[in-house]
Amino acid sequence: MIKNIYSGKFIVIEGLDGSGKSAQVDLIAEFLKEKGKDFILKNEPTTESEAGIKIRKILKGEIKAQPMERQELFVQDRKEHLEHKIIPALKEGKFVVVSRYVFSTIAYGHSDGLNIDLLVKMNENFLLPDLTVVIDVSPKECIERIKKRGQAVELFEREKKLIKVNETYQKLPQMFENIVMINGEKPIAEVFEEVKKEVNKLL
C-alpha cells in the first residue's frame, strides 16, 4: 500500500460487526475537537457512490452478488472515496477518521473463500493509514451485542462467518504497518484510553 505523504493524518477503526467501532469513532472525534484539530468522519462502504449504494443493498440481502463481484464493488467505492473525500481532506491537513477500510474487505472477502493474496493485491494501490486500530472482540460477544441492539442480522453478522473474519483480523498486524489490536471487551471508556494513546502519537 502507498504511504501517506500528505500533511493530514489518516486513522481507520476496524473490527467485527458489534465490536464497538462507532463508539470509538465518536470518542476520537470528541478528543480531536478538544485538541483543536480539523477532522472529518467517514464510513465504508460509502453512501456516496453507485458502488457503495449497491454494496449496502447486498449486505441487507436486497440483491444478490457473488463474492468477487462484491470485492470489485468495494474496490470501486474505495477508489472514489479516496479521490473525492479522503485525499482532499488530508491535503488540507485534516485528520480523516474512517470506520472500515481495506482491512475489512480483506478479512470478510477471505471468509467468503477468496484468496487473501489476491485481495491484498486488489487493494495494494490504496493509501496506507497512519494508524489502524482493530477493536478486538470475540465473535461470540459481538453476536450478543448485535442481538441486544435488536438489529436485523445482516449478511455478515453470523457467528461462523465472524469466526473466520476474526482469524484474518488477527493476522493483519503481521501483514501491514501501523496496525494496533486493542481489547474491545472492556468498558468503552477503558477501550478509548488505549485508543487515545495511539491517536496521541499522531498529534
C-alpha cell, 164: 473466520
Residue 93: predicted pLDDT: 98
Cα-based angle 59, 61, 66 (whole degrees, multiple of 5):
70
Instruction: Give the per-residue pLDDT at 176.
Output: 97
Residues in Cβ contact with 101 at an 8 Å cutoff, skipping those fewer than 6 apart: 12, 14, 44, 78, 129, 132
- What distance in Å separates the CA atoms of residue 197 and residue 183, rounded to the nearest whole number? 14
How does residue 155 score in pLDDT terms, banded at 50, 70 and 90? low
Mean pLDDT, rounded, for 131-158: 82
pTM across the whole model: 0.94
Write out pLDDT tens, residues 83-137: 999 999 999 999 999 999 999 999 999 999 999 999 999 999 999 999 999 999 9
Q: Strand 127-128 to strand 179-183: parallel, antiparallel, or no bridges (unpaired)?
A: unpaired
pLDDT band at 160 (very low <50, low <70, confident <90, very high): confident
How many CB atoms are closer than 10 A to CB 20?
Answer: 21
Q: Domain residue spans in the chain?
A: 2-200
CATH architecture group of domain 2-200: 3-Layer(aba) Sandwich (3.40)
State pLDDT tens for residues 18-61: 999 999 999 999 999 999 999 999 999 999 999 999 999 998 88
Residue 5 confidence (pLDDT): 97
Q: Are 172 and 103 in contact (CB under 8 A)?
A: yes
Cell numbers for 85, please give them.
Answer: 473525500
